[in-house]
């Protein structure tokens, strides 16, 4: 293929290799085409991360910490975090609007569901007896917020939120009297009712869920729901196929103790799903941190741990079938359904949650850090 004087090959030797290594020893414009292609193959074999996209920081305008992010589409994304802070963008993250929920300055919103550009629901994590178990809703793009639910019942601690559609959703919390605390809405989050705990299996001693990424509970299809656990002597997954009317629970091979277990779940259909986890007290500890299911969560199998290893708190599947996972110990991508992983370079520190649309993802975490990646 011929090229004009002004048409040059991409300046690939300026792409950083991992870690912080640069290819700067070849003038690509003087390479014959065949040699150029061989060099690209060489890079793919010996420096596989170079051919992947990298995270790009998006200024958030705040230093609040975030553990929940929810995309409506490639333009509209919402996030929620500490100090009563909500973020919203309508241009894919080029600019973010910082929203402070009036009267919620001491609350930590660890759950959010964005219904569209105008409507969103946020969930406060914390002890109910200290006034921290609250649910707010906005219908005007965050300009005002309505407190739609709260309780002072001792022991209630809300962990996350998910919706099957624009009307039907669920919020879950730590066990009360050895049963998960579940709330359900059928009117888009305007009102919430507690699901009867009688249908739920009993929790193990010290078993609960980690409010780390708003993805310990996920839904799929019209009525399926899964909730991952930790804190006990084994990690389990609770699951229902009828929106929580009836439940089953299964053990998983994920290691669990007081600070370890399942931190994030993701299902891309009613049968196939993945769970990631780790130890939040030893974030970089070598940990078998990935398990998968092929039967709707009835059984789980270990698969290859991520590279880098350590705590992973959220995972998502792209339109192209790739898996992306994030956590305080870094991020990784898999192109073969979690059989192998490759690290994503330049991952910001302290990332907790992820949301993806098509083949683009946004991750969010400590000190207002937001980053976007396109594959």
106-134: b (≥16 Cβ within 10 Å) or e: ebbbbbbbbbeeebbbbbbbbebeeebbb
Are 271 and 305 part of one and the same domain? Answer: yes
pLDDT score of 67: 97
Are 166 and 45 part of one and the same domain? Answer: no
Are 61 and 42 part of one and the same domain? Answer: no
> Would you place residue 14 in the very low, low, confident or very high pLDDT band (cuts 50, 70, 90)?
very low
Asked if the structure places residue 145 within a domain, the reply is yes
**Whether the predicted pLDDT of 5 surpasses 60:** no
Are 39 and 78 part of one and the same domain? Answer: no
Are 20 and 97 part of one and the same domain? Answer: no
Mean pLDDT of 105-110: 98
pTM higher than the cut 0.75: yes
Are 32 and 86 part of one and the same domain? Answer: no
Asked if the structure places residue 127 within a domain, the reply is yes
Report the chain's mean pLDDT, rounded to a whole number: 90
Are 152 and 132 part of one and the same domain? Answer: yes
pLDDT score of 169: 98
Look up residue 167 and give its two tokens.
């009307």
Residues in the chain: 375
Asked if the structure places residue 339 within a domain, the reply is yes
Count how many domains the chain has: 2
Asked if the structure places residue 7 within a domain, the reply is no
pLDDT score of 290: 98
Q: Of 28-37, 71-80, 193-202, which range is least confident?
A: 28-37
- Whether the CB-CB separation of 219 and 161 falls below 8 Å is answered with no
CATH code, domain with 177: 2.130.10.10
**Whether the predicted pLDDT of 44 surpasses 60:** no
Q: Which residues make Cβ contacts (< 8 Å) with residue 93, sequence separation at least 6?
A: 58, 77, 362, 370, 372
Are 151 and 44 part of one and the same domain? Answer: no
Mean pLDDT of 240-260: 97
Are 131 and 81 part of one and the same domain? Answer: yes
Q: Which residues make Cβ contacts (< 8 Å) with residue 371, sequence separation at least 6?
A: 55, 56, 57, 58, 347, 348, 351, 362, 363, 364
Mean pLDDT of 147-157: 98
Are 38 and 161 part of one and the same domain? Answer: no
Q: Of 31-40, 248-257, 281-290, 332-341, which range is least confident?
A: 31-40
pLDDT above 90 covers a percentage of the chain that reads 84
Mean pLDDT of 292-318: 97
Residue 101: phi and psi, rounded to 5, are -75, 115
**Whether the predicted pLDDT of 375 surpasses 80:** yes
Asked if the structure places residue 5 within a domain, the reply is no
Asked if the structure places residue 218 within a domain, the reply is yes
Asked if the structure places residue 68 within a domain, the reply is yes
Mean pLDDT of 73-96: 98
pLDDT score of 301: 98
Asked if the structure places residue 301 within a domain, the reply is yes
Distance of alpha carbon 253 from alpha carbon 69, whole angstroms: 28
Question: Domain residues for 179?
Answer: 57-374
DSSP classification of residue 230: B
Are 39 and 175 part of one and the same domain? Answer: no
């Amino acid at each position: 293929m011929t090229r004009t004087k002004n048409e040059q090959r991409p300046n690939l030797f300026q792409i950083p290799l991992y870690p912080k290594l640069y290819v700067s020893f070849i003038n690509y414009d003087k390479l014959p085409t065949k040699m150029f292609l061989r060099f690209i193959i060489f890079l793919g074999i010996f420096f596989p991360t170079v051919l992947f996209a990298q995270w790009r920081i998006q200024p958030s305008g705040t230093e609040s910490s975030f553990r929940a992010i929810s995309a409506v589409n490639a333009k509209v994304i919402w996030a929620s975090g500490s100090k009563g802070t909500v973020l919203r963008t309508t241009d894919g993250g080029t600019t973010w609007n910082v929203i402070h929920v009036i009267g919620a300055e001491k609350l930590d919103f660890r759950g959010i569901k964005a219904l569209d550009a105008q409507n969103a629901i946020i969930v406060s994590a914390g002890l109910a007896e200290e006034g921290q178990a609250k649910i707010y809703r906005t219908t005007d793009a965050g300009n005002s917020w309505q407190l739609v639910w709260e309780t002072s019942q001792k022991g209630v601690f809300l962990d996350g939120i998910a919706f099957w559609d624009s009307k039907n959703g669920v919020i879950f919390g730590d066990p009360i009297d050895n049963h998960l605390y579940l709330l359900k809405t059928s009117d888009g989050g305007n009102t919430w009712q507690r699901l009867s705990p009688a249908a739920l299996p009993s929790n193990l001693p010290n078993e609960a869920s980690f409010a780390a990424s708003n993805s310990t509970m996920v839904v799929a299809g019209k009525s399926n729901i899964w909730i991952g656990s930790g804190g006990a002597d084994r990690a389990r997954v609770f699951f229902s196929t009828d929106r929580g009317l009836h439940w089953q629970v299964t053990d998983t091979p994920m290691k669990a103790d007081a600070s370890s277990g399942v931190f994030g779940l993701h299902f891309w259909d009613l049968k196939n799903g993945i769970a990631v986890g780790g130890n939040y007290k030893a974030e970089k500890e070598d940990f078998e941190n990935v398990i998968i299911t092929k039967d709707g969560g009835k059984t789980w199998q270990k698969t290859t741990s991520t590279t880098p290893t350590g705590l992973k708190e959220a995972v998502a599947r792209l339109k192209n079938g790739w898996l992306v996972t994030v956590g305080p110990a870094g991020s990784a991508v898999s192109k073969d359904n979690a059989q192998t992983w490759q690290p994503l370079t330049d991952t910001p520190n302290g990332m907790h949650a992820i949301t993806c649309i098509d083949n683009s993802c946004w991750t969010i975490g400590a000190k207002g850090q937001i980053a976007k990646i396109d594959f």
